[in-house]
Chains A and B, each alone.
Chain A
Amino acid sequence: MGRKLLLQHINVPGINTLEVYRQKGGYTAVEKALKTLTPDEVVEEVKKSGLRGRGGAGFPTGMKWGFLAKPEGVPRYLVCNADESEPGTFKDRYLMTYIPHLLIEGMIVSSFALGAKVSYIYVRGEMMPQIRILEKAIAEAKAAGWLGKNILGTGYDLELYVQPGGGAYICGEETALLESLEGKRGNPRIKPPFPAIAGLYGCPTVVNNVESIAAVVPIINEGGDEYAKLGIGRSTGTKLISASGNLVKPGVYEIDLGLPVEEFIYSDEYCGGIANGKRLKAVVAGGSSVPILPANLILKTVNNEARLMSYESLSDGGFATGTMLGSGGFIAYDEDQCIVRNTWNFARFYHHESCGQCSPCREGTGWMEKVLHRLEYGHGKMADMDLLVDVSKKIEGNTICPLGDAAAWPVASAIRHFRDEFEWHVTNAAEATTRNYGLAGYADPLPELETV
């Protein structure tokens, strides 16, 4: 059984209140950091922990903090990314709903480390209930002296505000988020300059995911070295996985990085297997943006090694046979799911969410949606698969922000691994509108690699 660092007390009644959260050891990280460490020492602990950004890109958090510019007399900001809109991801919502003080504690320690005196939590606007929860928790923390002026008599001042978004996936992209926080449309900015140099209001800014900031609390409490002992290799610590789709027990799980994928799906401690006694057909392991893999490739790498839930193992084999850990949005598809329909659904999503600034993304996502729609509805052509791959290649790498890549990868990977299902939609167009292709050979054992 893995150690729980974030969700340890999630089921304690009243843990959403300051009182119970304190009883369970809450806010000791603030005390420790503000009273016994310098800001640079906090950054150093986070560096030692090996924590990598939990929002999707997996960039080392301590290193990112180290890049923050510190010009004299210019305010610096910490902005928490609680936009959580990546399809398949719902861990941040869970954390904020049930243990809001963990995020607030993390925000205080992180803001102290970065020298921010005003910080914002940007929450997607649809999470109005979570916004209320956070505002209440902030008021409690402030009344108890954990926020505001001269915290714990250390001379450190911090104000923390919650900012609602307006309903736009793109505002999860950090520079779009900053535009949105400035009261503008969520159009991503051209980088450089990076937010660490010019972010919110043109000032040095760090943007971090909810889970990354929450993880700072156990890192400070236990020390970066202790945290780094959990996990595997460069995938240190624990990770929240949002499990959805055709599972017996979908939900949010905290795992030690390095847990075998097979154990995660089938053991009773986690997802409990595929619902309704069906068989697993495919998995999207890290949110809708990462490549989809057939059952055989998600369970084992091409080298026939067990696939693990870690940054490295999931990306083993590159995009040819691997995928990415991404945001940890783990979507399982059973034998009754149609890959063509799912790919069309995702393409429609990305087309809808493209901000429209770059032509390859704006136009390409629209074309992919249209072509996939006609494949799904029985009007596809054999040439469509190559056409889709061609369009995806023209988007990938040619846009201002990574939404373009995020739109291209699911389509390209679906065709890479499930081409026969797409072809069947063309050759059996009428049948394809009445039944699904089924499991086919997607769970068959991988061919043995020749040993040399």
Chain B
Amino acid sequence: MLKVETTQTPVEFSAALLATFDDIRSRYPEGKQKSALLPILHAVQAELGWLSAAAMDKVADYLQILPIEVYEVATFYTMYFLRPQGKYMLEVCRTGPCCTVGAEKIMDHIEQTLGVKEGEVTPDGLFSWRGVECLAACGYAPVLQIGPEYTFYENLTTESVDKLINDLKAKI
């Protein structure tokens, strides 16, 4: 269970993000704007990196629903981060089919390479990693994804993981 960060540091949403909100809301019938909640939370997370209580309250305000309705959803689904994460969150599939071809070894290797445990952030703020459940890519296992665009990396080996991490570091 992720702990909820409750500090109320005020947040601002960009004009582009607010325009995205309006676009999303237009997809549902009159009065059913709550349907926009999941896609809007994804959009907020893509911009801010995680969902703070203040950000969720603003979403509640926008959708004219209660803040608790947003918290309920944000805590139920695994994709929403309720605490800041590393800039790159490496999400490795840990489910059965991936384990038949070495997913556990990949996770051990990432843990050693990054030097942080599952769910922790590297001191430079760049990386976090965690195991996630079947990503519907079992035929190309082992796999990992990196948000917010959820780019996929397939048929992982320890070498390809090293290269990926180095490439990401070089991007900074």
Contacts and interface: CB of A to CB of B under 8 A. Distances in A.
Interface of A: 75, 84-90, 92-93, 118, 124-129, 159, 161, 163-169, 180-186, 201, 242-246, 250-252, 284, 288, 329, 331, 333-334, 337, 341-342, 345-346, 349, 352-353, 355
B153 to A, nearest CB: 12
A349 B133 contact: yes
B101 interface: yes
Nearest to B95: A87
B42 A164 contact: yes
Contacts of B152: 129
Contact of A182 (B35, B39, B79, B132): B35
Chain B contact patch, size range: 35 or more
Contact of A87 (B27, B77, B96, B149): B96
Interface string B17-48: 00000000001010010111111011000000
B127 to A, nearest CB: 19
Nearest to B151: A129
Given A88-B97, A186-B76, A331-B100, 11 more contacts: A89-B136, A126-B79, A159-B27, A164-B42, A166-B76, A166-B78, A183-B63, A183-B65, A341-B99, A345-B96, A349-B134
Contacts of A243: 139
A242 B133 contact: no
10 contacts: A75-B29, A87-B134, A125-B77, A128-B148, A129-B150, A163-B39, A167-B79, A183-B35, A185-B72, A201-B29
Interface in B70-87: 72-73, 76-80
Contacts of A186: 76-77
Interface of B: 27, 29, 32, 34-39, 41-42, 63, 65, 69, 72-73, 76-80, 94-97, 99-101, 132-141, 145, 147-152
A168 B78 contact: yes
Contacts of A165: 38, 77
Contacts of A251: 139
A180 B36 CA distance: 10
Contacts of A127: 136, 150
A182 B137 contact: no
Nearest to A350: B133
Contacts of A183: 34-38, 63, 65, 69, 73
A250 B39 CA distance: 33
Residue of B41, B133, B149 most packed against chain A (CB within 10 A)? B133
Contacts of A92: 136
A155 B105 CA distance: 58
A303 to B, nearest CB: 30
Residue of B78, B94, B151 most packed against chain A (CB within 10 A)? B78
A256 B86 CA distance: 46
A93 B136 contact: yes
A118 B32 CA distance: 13
Contacts, number: 153
Contacts of B138: 87-90, 242, 244-245, 250, 329, 331
A341 B103 CA distance: 13
A250 to B, nearest CB: 4
A181 B77 CA distance: 13
Nearest to B40: A183
A382 B38 CA distance: 46
A246 B96 CA distance: 12
B36 to A, nearest CB: 7
Contacts of A84: 136
A23 to B, nearest CB: 29
Given A186-B76, A331-B100, A85 B133 contact: yes
Pairs of residues from A and B, 3 with the lowest C-beta to C-beta distance, nearest first: A166-B77, A167-B79, A244-B138
Contacts of B97: 87-88, 244-245, 331
B150 A164 contact: no
Given A181-B35, A183-B73, A342-B96, A169 B139 contact: no
Contacts of B37: 183
Contacts of B78: 166-168
Contacts of B101: 245-246
A251 B141 CA distance: 10
Contact of B79 (A87, A125, A244): A125
B64 to A, nearest CB: 12
Nearest to B147: A128
A126 B77 CA distance: 11
Contacts of B94: 345
